[in-house]
Every structure is written in structure tokens, then in C-alpha cells.
Amino acid sequence: MYKILPLLTTFALTGFIPSGISGEFSGHVGLEATAFFEPAIYENQKDTYASLSTKINYYHDWDNGYQRFETSIFGRVDGDDERTHADIRELYYWRAFNRVELYAGVRQVFWGVTESAHLVDIINQTDLVESIDGEEKLGQAMINTFYETDYGAYELFVLPGFRERTFTGEEGRLRPSVIVDQDNATYESGKEQSHIDYAFRWSHVVDVVDIGLSYFNGTDRNPTLTPNFGGNGVIVLTPYYRQIQQYGLDLQATIESWAWKMETIAVIPDSDDNYFASVSGFEYTLVGLSGSSTDLGLIVEYQYDQRDADSASLQQNDIVVGTRWVLNNADSTEILLIGSVDLDDSSVIMSVEAQHRLTDNWSVSIEARYFGNASLGDPTYDLRQDSYARVEFNGYF
């Protein structure tokens, strides 16, 4: 996966962790079932899928909490061969020096504040076979410094070892009409996956406003899918990864029960047109609904992408509304309902996500998505018969 991973593992395990001192293990095993509401469009696709996943975590602190080794390994076995995969989500060494912190290894770093899309979140590659909403990420090798001052926190990232995006295979649902040839990706940089990327972020809290400014220079995490002839003469989509600079801004202003949010990016490719994209809106929370312990959040956001129809993004000119229901009970029950409408062609995406703890060691999560009213040429047209419901039981240890 990474040429440097064996070195990092040995470095962390033998060079830093004191011998004879054990850390703490945790993890879960998940059993997932997915059912699609309509028959498959393409040959070899199924209407139901089952999979088994596991995630194992380990961490160890020492030196009075100034040093840490942490790792998280994820794996899944699925009916779709491309969704059967394993990944090192995290494997890193951390050390604190007063106001300065150093990370070295594989990590997952999240940037963003809005609910419907995370435009500024560019450090990690999307693990698209895990979730079509882009929330799941692959681990990224990095050296990262964090410096906190009275005027904000400064983070610098050096990112070796580019990760290619995962895509659903021929036998899987939620895929384009033309298969993505993941084995023959092309790059603008002659260094391909060995290109070293860089990123910087400044964040600060000013009164009720959380602000973040970011800059990225390197290989675009979002590939352009180009039609080509595959080895057997069949047309396939080949991922092409450009070199870009991305400037990002994320803001959240919390005023009583209102949370006003915005994410904006300006992308400057080395060999293509510049573009601007933004997501903005609010979440209003009704605390203690009807005298109960339940909180109900009302979400409204607007998504814009300057590329419009030239973009494969699902967020081009869309209005998003939703609600977040948090019961605040002993079983940690939460329900998130989101609906979006494309203002250009009226295509609709609706989703519901729910989590509930069954016992101290078991939980259940439910996810459902509906794709409707998509016309030919819309990014969701290939998903017109892929509305689905998914349930997963997780046992924790």
C-alpha cells in the first residue's frame, strides 16, 4: 500500500514504545445487509448484498501523555469484489512539545463544518466503495505539525504517497453505466503516486465564530473520468488525476440556537480552467422539544459549483433541507434526514441515517437513499434504479 509503511511501523513499535508496557485495544465487527428497491440495470448486478467488516484500534500513551502511538485497521468482505478491501486508516506516532505537536505516519484528518458536503476536506482520499456520500476516507501518509498560539492554530502537512479513489466494480450497484478501470489510472505529474503534496491550515475562534483558512498544493483527490478502450476492447472510464492548488475557507458562527455555516473553495488546476464552489446555510436547534430531553435540528443549505454541467459533482446548484433528531437517551439514538433538489433539472436525492445502541456491546445503524427524477446527463441518472436501504449490526470489544 505504501512503501514507507513497514518503515513507519518498525519506527513506531521499536523506536518509541517502551518495551514491556502494553497499550489499549478496541474495535468492532459488523454484519451489513443492503437491499435495492428496483431491479438492477446491468448484467451481473444483484438486488441484495451482504458483507462482514471489522475495525481494530490500538493506542498507547507514555512519557506523561507527551507521546503516543495509535493505529486503526479496517477491512471488509463483500459480494462485490471491489468492495472487498482492507486499509490502514491510521498508524502514527505523536509527540507534544509544549505548544507544538508532531505527527508522523498514516492519519485521517477532517476539515469542514457544513452538513451536505465537505468541500474543504482534501487531505484524505475518499473510500467511495464504503459510502457514496464521501464521508468514509482512506488513510493518508503524512508528516504533520500543529502549533497553537493566541492568534490561532497553524498546521503544516507534508503528504507522500498518493491514494487513488476506490470505485464500485462491475458486479456492484451504485456505479456509472461505464465501468471505471481503476488499474490504469493516469496522472498529470510524471511522479504519479510518488508525488509529494503539501497543505497548510490556520484555524481560530473569534468570539462566536470558528474560522479556518486552508491551502493545498498537489494531486487532486477528485479524478476526471475519461472514456478509453480497455484491454478487451470495451469502453471504460480511466481516472485522470490533475495537479491543483486549492484555497479553502470554512466558517461557523454559533448564535444561541443558530449555527450559520459556510465552506468555500477556489481551485486552480495546472492545466485547466479555475473554478469556485461553495456550500452555505444554517442549522437551527430546538432544544428540549416539548419539554423533553429531545433536540431537533432544522437544516437548510445551498450548494453551488461554478462548473455547472461540466462537473461530475452532485452539488452543482442544489437546495438542501433536513432535520437532525437527537433523543439524548441512554441508547444514543439519533436520526438524520436530508433531502436535496437540483434547481436546474429537479433531480432529487433523499437520505436517512439512524443509529441506536442495543446493548452495552451492540449497536444498529440504518441508512437509506432515494434517487429520483434524474434526466439523461444528470450525474444521478446512472443511479436511477439504485435506491436502497442498508442495515448494519456492530458488536464492540
Task: Look at residue 311 in the predicted model and tell me its pLDDT.
Answer: 61
- Please report, in tens digits, the pLDDT of each residue of the chain (397 residues total): 444 444 444 444 444 555 545 799 999 999 999 999 999 999 889 999 999 999 999 999 999 999 999 999 999 999 888 899 999 999 999 999 989 999 999 999 999 999 999 999 999 999 999 999 999 999 999 999 999 999 999 999 999 999 999 999 989 999 999 999 999 999 999 999 999 999 999 999 999 999 999 999 999 999 999 999 987 889 999 999 999 999 999 999 999 999 999 999 999 999 889 999 999 999 999 999 988 999 999 999 999 999 876 566 777 899 999 999 999 999 999 999 999 999 998 999 999 999 999 999 999 999 999 999 988 888 899 999 999 999 999 999 9
Task: Look at residue 205 in the predicted model and tell me its pLDDT.
Answer: 98
Other beta carbons within 10 angstroms of residue 298's beta carbon come to 14
Task: Look at residue 230 in the predicted model and tell me its pLDDT.
Answer: 84
d(CA 313, CA 204): 30
Instruction: Render pLDDT for 131-169 as a digit per residue (tens, 0 to 9).
Output: 999 999 999 999 999 999 999 999 999 999 999 999 999
Task: Look at residue 271 in the predicted model and tell me its pLDDT.
Answer: 87
Note the CATH number of domain 5-396.
2.40.160.10
Report long-range pairs for 255-260 (Cβ below 8 Å, ≥24 apart): 255/208, 257/284, 257/285, 257/286, 257/287, 258/282, 258/283, 258/284, 259/283, 259/284, 259/285
Contact 134, 118 (CB under 8 A): yes
Length of the chain: 397
Task: Look at residue 18 in the predicted model and tell me its pLDDT.
Answer: 53
Amino acid residing at 180: V
Class of residue 98 by CB neighbours under 10 A (exposed 0-12, middle 13-18, buried 19+):
exposed
Contacts of 118 (CB under 8 A, 6+ apart): 110, 111, 112, 134, 263
Instruction: Tell how strand 186-187 and strand 235-241 pair up.
Output: parallel
Instruction: Render pLDDT for 175-212 as a digit per residue (tens, 0 to 9).
Output: 999 999 999 999 999 999 999 999 999 999 999 999 99
Per domain, the residue ranges of the chain are 5-396
Instruction: Render pLDDT for 35-74 as a digit per residue (tens, 0 to 9).
Output: 999 999 998 899 999 999 999 999 999 999 999 999 999 9
